[in-house]
Amino acid sequence: MSINTHQLCRRAMLLFLGVLLAPLWAQGQQPGADRAEMEALKAELKRIELRLQELESRQSSPAAPAAVPESATAPAPEPAPLQAVPSSGAEAVKEAADRGMDTMDAGMGGETISLPHIPELKIRGFGDIRGFVANQNMAVLANSPGSPTPATQGGNATFALGLMDLFVTSQITEKFSYLTEIGFEADPASNGVGVDLERAQISYMQSDKFSFSAGRTHAMLGYYNSAFHHGTWFQTTIDRPRIFEFEDSGGPLPIHNIGVSAMGKLPGNKVQLHWFGEVGNGKQTYSLQSTVTPANVLADHTGKSTNIGFYLTPRTENNLRAGFNWYQASLVPQIGQMPGYGTPAFPFPNAASYYKQNIFIAHAIYITPTFEFMAEDAEIRDRARGANQPLYTSGGYAQISRAFGSMRPYFRYQWLNPNFRDPNNAWVGRWVGPSPGVRWDINTFVALKTEFSHFDWKNFSADQSGTQTLPVQHKSLDQLGLQLTYTF
């Protein structure tokens, strides 16, 4: 209200109270209770007048406001319905702000796109810088130590950029949420940096008894793949176990999946059963771009991959869990001549090119804030159509660590035995060896890891029946690594 309005209200109030008090004033000569009542009314009138003066002083300003027209005091009209033609420019930004909406491309010459207001969007980042020195040329150490050293790539020591990972989450509603993970990764083959969409999934969580996700996800294979994802800051060691390496680094497992998944929990008196299931495109093995796994748009075969499993946790001890899962898919290994886009000439029913893959993974985990024990084993069985004997690949690891303040020494022993006759394997030879190390948490956001790795590598030949025979190559691989990892 303005000062003039307050003055009018005060005068009207005083006049009204004066009319009421006039008869009592006329009887002012009457003694007793009537006189006491009149004095009380006069005191109340004085109190009201002082209160009105206080309100006026709060509303006052240095400059007297302009007179308010009568139309300003009229009730505001109902807002008009939204127009079919969107606004643009600065007005569009104002309209969006008034309606609680976000705007895109407003004020830039484009039309306004109104989006529902997102209550919360979080962006976290993870990255690392590392250095290695080894007794083997770095160009062939990760894949085939028996290969000759490339003429264009030499050296047994290097600094390297690790993965810079952006982790974006949004709680859309109470039950719907969205997650995306974007990785900026250096390629050792080209020394360039590429951008990968690692995950992009929308999830619906009814309760801890049932949830559902769709999009590009990390396959729920064992424990490691669903616990540590792409951020090296999460994991105790420098690298993932070789059996859980990503597809574009030669890993044998279908780490990513395009499809849908569901999971839930069945509570019990002493043990809780957690279940999960996935359906997706599976590992892409025959494509215009064979390094893209899984198929993001066009699957290389009609059959879909499935993954079902469970894990158990004691009702009173959530740090302990043990589980198992079974994954199956159809695979078509790469061939020399790729089909033309839009006219895929898949080699079905070529028995030598079509494989049925089954993967079985078991894990046992016990983790507390100071102690960590993890053990997993994966068995991969690929059977070619028409073949009687499947091709087996196995791998796993066991890891233990103990925190002493900010220092956490650890020890990992791992193994990987890929079948050298299986065209679905990128690695060759048998890898076995320990990796002791220490992680130092400098602060909440930065950690330094020092790790020594030793591998015994063997590559086998085969007789006429395809049976593995005595090793033809044997090398010992030693590597010392440092990694500075951080979150922001």
Question: Position of tokens 């070789």?
Answer: 242
Q: Give the DSSP H/E element, type plus range, for residue 97.
A: helix 89-98
The answer to whether 51 and 17 are in contact (CB under 8 A) is no
Instruction: Tell me if 436 is assigned to some domain.
Output: yes
Co-location of 55 and 161 in the same domain: no
Instruction: Tell me if 405 is assigned to some domain.
Output: yes
In degrees, rounded to 5, the angle at the alpha carbon of residue 292 between the alpha carbons of residues 287 and 296 is 85
- Minimal CA–CA distance to 310: which of 325, 296, 294? 325
Peptide bond into 349 cis (omega under 30): yes
Co-location of 42 and 136 in the same domain: no
Co-location of 148 and 236 in the same domain: yes
Co-location of 41 and 137 in the same domain: no
In this prediction, residue 285 carries a pLDDT of: 64
Co-location of 50 and 193 in the same domain: no
Give CA–CA dist 463/470, Å, rounded: 10
Co-location of 40 and 146 in the same domain: no
Give CA–CA dist 399/73, Å, rounded: 75
In this prediction, residue 7 carries a pLDDT of: 58
In this prediction, residue 442 carries a pLDDT of: 97
Co-location of 230 and 362 in the same domain: yes
List CB contacts of 224: < 8 A, sequence separation 6 or more: 240, 241, 244, 363, 374, 376
Co-location of 307 and 174 in the same domain: yes
In this prediction, residue 81 carries a pLDDT of: 47
Instruction: Tell me if 66 is assigned to some domain.
Output: no
Co-location of 11 and 155 in the same domain: no
Co-location of 353 and 425 in the same domain: yes
Instruction: Tell me if 71 is assigned to some domain.
Output: no
Burial class (CB in 10 A: 0-12, 13-18, 19+), 223: buried
List CB contacts of 286: < 8 A, sequence separation 6 or more: 300, 301, 332, 333, 334, 335, 346, 347
Task: Record the tokens describing residue 155, joined without a space.
Answer: 């050296």
CATH number at residue 324: 2.40.160.10
Tell me the pLDDT tens digit for each residue of 198-212: 999 999 999 989 999
In this prediction, residue 358 carries a pLDDT of: 96
**DSSP one-letter code for 424:** T
In this prediction, residue 468 carries a pLDDT of: 60
Instruction: Tell me if 95 is assigned to some domain.
Output: no
- Strand-pairing partners, residue 164, are 184
Range of the structural domain that residue 20 is part of: 1-27+36-60
Task: Record the tokens describing residue 299, joined without a space.
Answer: 């699957």
User: In the chain, which residues have pLDDT < 50?
Assistant: 3, 24-26, 28, 61, 63-74, 79-90, 92-94, 96-98, 100-101, 106, 287-290, 335-352
- Minimal CA–CA distance to 281: which of 254, 263, 262? 254
DSSP 3-state of 336: coil
Render 217-261 in DSSP notation, one character per residue. EE---TTHHHHTTT-TTTSSSSS--GGG--GGGT-SS--EEEEEE
Give CA–CA dist 60/361, Å, rounded: 76
In this prediction, residue 149 carries a pLDDT of: 60
- Chain-centroid distance of CA 253 in Å reads 20
Co-location of 40 and 143 in the same domain: no
Strands (E), 351-406: 355-367, 371-384, 391-402
**DSSP one-letter code for 340:** B
Co-location of 18 and 129 in the same domain: no
Instruction: Tell me if 168 is assigned to some domain.
Output: yes
Give CA–CA dist 5/136, Å, rounded: 90
Going 251 to 252 to 255 to 259, the CA torsion angle's sign is positive
Instruction: Tell me if 262 is assigned to some domain.
Output: yes
Peptide bond into 267 cis (omega under 30): no
- Number of domains composing the chain: 2
Peptide bond into 339 cis (omega under 30): no
Instruction: Tell me if 84 is assigned to some domain.
Output: no
